[in-house]
């Protein structure tokens, strides 16, 4: 369990509460195309409204690189939150985020009112955790609540810097839920505990593999990263993704798995293509037998079966990263099969943000999973065993 104070441990009646949310939603021409992150933030916001707080919301959106970019304004979020909450969310449209609009709105708030500040990354100091912007944010509030798991692995003004200038800094329900699920899964799992890793690169998941080998009963590695393992074992991988700098690392991890008695499952066959395209020629190749000019694009049918069987008897499963180039329909089958296996198992299933979360939701299995993390990078760093700065900055219980 998380040893940080939460919104349940404080009294916010009549107080100005600055809440860092993760409203980093995809937008198309000003329209929100996936509102999961807004919905996920509602429990904390509703609780603070019900308790009579004066709720000041803030978030980043995209990467405006320290200057106002109208297409990355949070205005559409204020509009949608107004609908979702059934009460007006006043939008403080200051290009400097904490400006005359925000100050005036904050001054005239009544208990239970809600305002939303402009995109925190309009300020260049935000991502540098600078003092001036941290102080500006703190000057608006009496209490700070961090509910943005998606940015918890970063030390920015709006989630870490601000806590130095307020007396009370706590976490919200979403943050608590994310940490409880991921933390329990990794540190106190019901066994057998199976982790499934995929995605493009070994190099982005080095510490995850290393850390998980200390915790899991079975580690499954699919996706682009599996070809580095295949080559390290002397296999032919054609033009498949490979990081030659990590061949020794792959061998070290295989040795570690053996020493620890962890079952390490790698693809035994692959779906390969003669070009990086959905419409290329496609065939199945056995492991380590990918011809020149061909490239591994997905796990093969035999591998699908082995991976899905490993999940059947598991009691805890954590999944991060697709099994192949799932954006191309012809190479989405392996990722879909794993998603379905997770939907069908009785195990506690935790999906670590990013592509795997998107795949699960698109396939309509979202409500079959125990927990889908709202943070890709943050959940990965959690799986690496790192302390997240955004969590560390909250007051201890
Ligand atoms: P990551 O961000 O590391 O989780 O990687 C996700 C990306 O890996 C997705 O865009 C996939 O298309 C890509 N990917 C997965 N498997 C392969 C593969 N065999 N070859 C090339 N890219 C892949």
Residue 121 sits in a domain whose CATH number is 3.40.50.1260
Q: What angle do CA 361, 297, 207 make, to 5 degrees?
A: 70
Write down the mean pLDDT value for the chain. 96
Note whether 103 and 135 are same-domain residues. Answer: yes
Using the mean position of ligand 1's atoms as its centre, give its distance from the Cα of residue 63 in Å.
22
Domain identity same for 219 and 308: yes
The pLDDT score that the predictor gives to residue 184 is: 87
- 73, 95 in Cβ contact below 8 A? no
Q: pLDDT digits over 165-216, tens only?
A: 999 999 999 999 999 999 888 889 999 999 999 999 889 898 999 999 999 9
Atom number, ligand 1, closest to the C-alpha of residue 226: 19
Judgement on whether residues 29 and 166 belong to the same structural domain of the protein: yes
Q: Which residues lie closer than 8 Å to 184 by C-beta, 6 or more apart?
A: none
Do 195 and 153 fall into the same domain?
Answer: no
Find out whether the beta carbon of 224 lies less than 6 Å from any atom of ligand 1.
yes
User: Rounded to an integer, what distance in angstroms lies between the CA atom of residue 209 and that of residue 196?
Assistant: 10
Task: For ligand 1, pick from 221, 322, 335 the residue to mutate: most ligand atoms within 8 Å of CB.
Answer: 322
> How much is the average pLDDT of 233-251?
97
Ligand 1 centroid from CA 225, angstroms: 8
Residue-wise pLDDT tens digits, 65-119: 999 999 999 999 999 999 999 999 999 999 999 999 999 999 999 999 999 999 9
Both 277 and 163 in a single domain? no
Examine residue 394 and state whether it is found in any structural domain, yes or no. no
Structure token digits, residue 383: 């799986």
201 CA distance to ligand 1 middle (Å)? 7
pLDDT for 355-367, tens place per residue?
888 889 888 999 9
Say yes or no: 130 and 244 in one domain.
Answer: no
**The predicted structure's pLDDT at residue 287:** 97
Would you say the CB of residue 377 lies under 6 angstroms from ligand 1? no
Decide if 58 is inside a domain: yes
The whole-number pLDDT of residue 1 equals 66
Q: State whether 34 and 152 are in the same domain.
A: yes
- The Cα–Cα gap between 24 and 77 comes to 9
333 CB neighbour count, 10 Å cutoff = 18
This prediction has a pTM of 0.89
The protein residue whose alpha carbon is closest to atom 2 in ligand 1 is: 199
Please report whether residue 396 resides in a domain.
Answer: no
Do 202 and 294 fall within a single domain? yes
Backbone dihedral region of 219: left (phi > 0), alpha (psi from -120 to 50 degrees) or beta?
beta
- The answer to whether residue 180 sits within a structural domain is no
Structural domain total, the chain: 2
Are 287 and 301 in contact, with CB atoms under 8 Å apart? no
Q: Are residues 233 and 353 in the same domain?
A: yes
What is the residue range of 317's domain? 189-383
Q: Is the pLDDT of residue 2 over 80?
A: no
259 and 312 part of one domain: yes
* Domain identity same for 29 and 90: yes
Query: 273 and 337 in one domain?
Result: yes
């Amino acid at each position: 369990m998380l040893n940080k104070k939460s919104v349940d441990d404080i009294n916010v009646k009549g107080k100005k509460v600055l809440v860092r949310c993760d409203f980093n939603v995809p937008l198309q021409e000003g329209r929100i195309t996936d509102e999961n992150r807004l919905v996920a933030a509602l429990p904390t916001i509703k609780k603070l409204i019900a308790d009579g707080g004066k709720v000041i919301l803030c978030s980043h959106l995209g990467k405006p690189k320290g200057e106002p970019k109208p297409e990355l304004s949070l205005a559409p979020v204020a509009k949608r939150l107004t609908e979702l909450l059934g009460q007006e969310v006043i939008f403080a449209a200051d290009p400097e985020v904490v400006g005359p609009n925000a100050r005036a709105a904050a001054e005239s708030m009544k208990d239970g009112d809600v305002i939303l500040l402009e995109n925190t990354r309009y300020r260049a100091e935000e991502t540098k955790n600078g003092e001036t912007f941290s102080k500006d944010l703190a000057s608006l509030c009496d209490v700070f609540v961090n509910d943005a798991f998606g940015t918890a692995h970063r030390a920015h003004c709006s989630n870490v810097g601000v806590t130095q200038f307020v007396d009370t800094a706590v976490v919200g329900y979403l943050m608590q839920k994310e940490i409880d699920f991921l933390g329990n899964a990794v540190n106190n799992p019901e066994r057998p505990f199976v982790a499934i890793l995929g995605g493009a690169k070994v190099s982005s998941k080095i510490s995850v593999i290393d850390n998980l080998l200390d915790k899991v009963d079975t580690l499954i590695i699919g996706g682009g990263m599996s070809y580095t393992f295949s080559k390290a074992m002397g296999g032919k991988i054609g033009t498949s993704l490979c990081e030659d700098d990590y061949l020794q690392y792959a061998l070290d991890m295989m040795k570690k798995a053996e020493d620890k008695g962890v079952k390490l499952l790698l693809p035994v066959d692959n779906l390969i293509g003669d070009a990086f395209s959905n419409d290329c020629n496609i065939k199945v190749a056995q492991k380590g037998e990918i011809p020149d000019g061909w490239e591994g694009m997905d796990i093969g049918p035999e591998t699908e079966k082995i991976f899905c069987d490993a999940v059947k008897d598991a009691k805890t499963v954590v999944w991060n990263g697709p099994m192949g180039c799932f954006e191309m329909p012809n190479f989405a089958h392996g990722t879909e099969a794993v998603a379905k296996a997770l939907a069908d198992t009785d195990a506690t299933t935790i999906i670590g943000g990013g592509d795997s979360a998107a795949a699960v939701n698109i396939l309509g299995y979202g409500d079959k999973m125990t927990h889908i993390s709202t943070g890709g990078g943050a959940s990965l760093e959690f799986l690496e065993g790192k302390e997240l700065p955004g969590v560390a900055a909250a007051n201890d219980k």
